[in-house]
């Protein structure tokens, strides 16, 4: 998954970045609302983590504009305010969830997973595609009783495909979903990860088809 973290506290931002990156997510970090707007102008995100008090404005104004623009990207607000009225306020503005600082990183990860499941219309981490059982939390595929453990980027790539079966994803779009702006990679890296997934899926009803000149799509046979 690709996250946008909008947080101006360097210590907290680095800790969140480290934790989410270790879990295999791609995270772009903005420490101002202006920088966040620049990121969003050129890329798309699965989830936004939004601080309230920022050097150049109030995160609630950002959230209000975000929803007014009909952008459905889920938002979790990171807030130091514990008053019920403050929490209700951000939810009424369109936040999908909030977490009060200081927070435990395992709770933050769990809240991210819950919001993303709701966004995808599922209530659990398990998904069945043909004869393949995918557990996004455990990072595994199960095929004919055999459990295959995916590496981080294999997992994130399969999440993209499994989230939209039959949809064609270009190589450039997949690079955008799997790598941050700080990472210099070529589209050939996508071919490597697609090849790995294909080997894992060999013999199953799930295939990653190549659409020549367009990209890849997950299809059931």
Q: What is the pLDDT of residue 87?
A: 81
Q: What is the pLDDT of residue 34?
A: 96
pLDDT band at 24 (very low <50, low <70, confident <90, very high): confident
Calculate what percentage of the chain has a pLDDT beyond 90: 68
Please name the helix (run of DSSP H) or strand (run of DSSP E) that holds residue 166, with its range, or none: none
Rg, C-alpha atoms of the chain = 18
Q: Which two tokens stand for residue 82?
A: 């514990």
126-154 pLDDT, tens digit each: 889 999 999 988 899 999 999 999 998 99
Query: What are residue 98's DSSP bridge partners?
Result: 77
Give 190-194 contacts, CB < 8 A, sequence gap 24+.
Answer: 190/157, 190/216, 193/153, 193/154, 193/157, 194/157
State how far the alpha carbon of 16 is from the alpha carbons of 23, 130, 180, 191, in Å.
11, 36, 15, 29
pLDDT band at 30 (very low <50, low <70, confident <90, very high): very high
Residue 48 CB partners (closer than 8 Å, separation 6+) = 3, 4, 6, 66, 73, 74, 75, 76
Q: Which two tokens stand for residue 96?
A: 């999908």
CA distance 207 to 197: 9
193-215 pLDDT, tens digit each: 999 999 999 999 999 999 999 99
How confident is the model over 2-25, as a mean pLDDT? 93
Q: What is the pLDDT of residue 81?
A: 76
Among 12-16, 45-49, 87-91, 122-126, the least confident range: 122-126
Q: What is the pLDDT of residue 194?
A: 97
Asked if pLDDT for residue 121 goes beyond 70, the answer is: no
80-95 pLDDT, tens digit each: 877 788 888 899 999 9
Q: Which two tokens stand for residue 27?
A: 């995270």
Q: What is the pLDDT of residue 6?
A: 97
User: In terms of Cα–Cα distance, which of 180, 22, 46 is closest to 106?
Assistant: 22
159-194 pLDDT, tens digit each: 999 988 999 999 998 998 888 877 878 888 999 999
Domains and CATH numbers, the chain: 2-119 (3.40.50.2300), 126-220 (1.10.10.10)
138, 155 Cβ separation under 8 angstroms: no
Helices (H), the chain: 10-22, 33-42, 59-68, 84-93, 105-119, 152-162, 171-178, 188-201
Query: Collapsing DSSP states into helix, strand and coil, what is residue 54?
Result: strand
CA distance 94 to 52: 14
50-81 pLDDT, tens digit each: 999 999 999 999 999 999 998 889 999 998 87
Looking at residue 102, the DSSP 8-state letter turns out to be S
Residue 91 CB partners (closer than 8 Å, separation 6+) = 98
Helices (H), 103-187: 105-119, 152-162, 171-178
Q: What is the pLDDT of residue 124?
A: 59
Calculate what percentage of the chain has a pLDDT beyond 70: 98
Asked if pLDDT for residue 123 goes beyond 60, the answer is: no
């Amino acid at each position: 998954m690709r996250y946008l973290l909008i947080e101006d506290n360097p210590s907290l931002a680095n800790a969140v970045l480290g934790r989410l990156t270790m879990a295999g997510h791609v995270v772009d970090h903005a420490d101002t609302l202006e920088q966040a707007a620049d990121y969003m102008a050129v890329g798309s995100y699965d989830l936004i983590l939004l601080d309230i008090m920022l050097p150049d404005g109030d995160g609630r104004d950002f959230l209000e504009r975000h929803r007014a623009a009909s952008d459905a990207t889920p938002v979790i607000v990171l807030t130091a305010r514990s008053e019920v009225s403050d929490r209700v306020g951000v939810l009424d503005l369109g936040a999908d969830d909030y977490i009060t600082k200081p927070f435990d990183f395992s709770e933050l990860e769990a809240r991210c997973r819950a919001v993303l499941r709701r966004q995808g219309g599922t209530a659990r981490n398990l998904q069945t595609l043909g004869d393949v059982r995918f557990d996004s939390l455990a990072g595994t595929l199960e095929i004919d009783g055999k459990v295959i453990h995916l590496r981080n980027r294999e997992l994130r790539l399969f999440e993209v495909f499994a989230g939209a079966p039959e949809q064609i994803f270009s190589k450039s779009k997949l690079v955008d979903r799997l790598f941050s702006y700080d990472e210099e990679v070529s589209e050939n890296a996508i071919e490597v990860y697609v090849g790995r997934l294909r080997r894992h899926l060999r013999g199953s009803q799930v295939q990653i088809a190549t659409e020549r000149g367009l990209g890849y799509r997950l299809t059931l046979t």
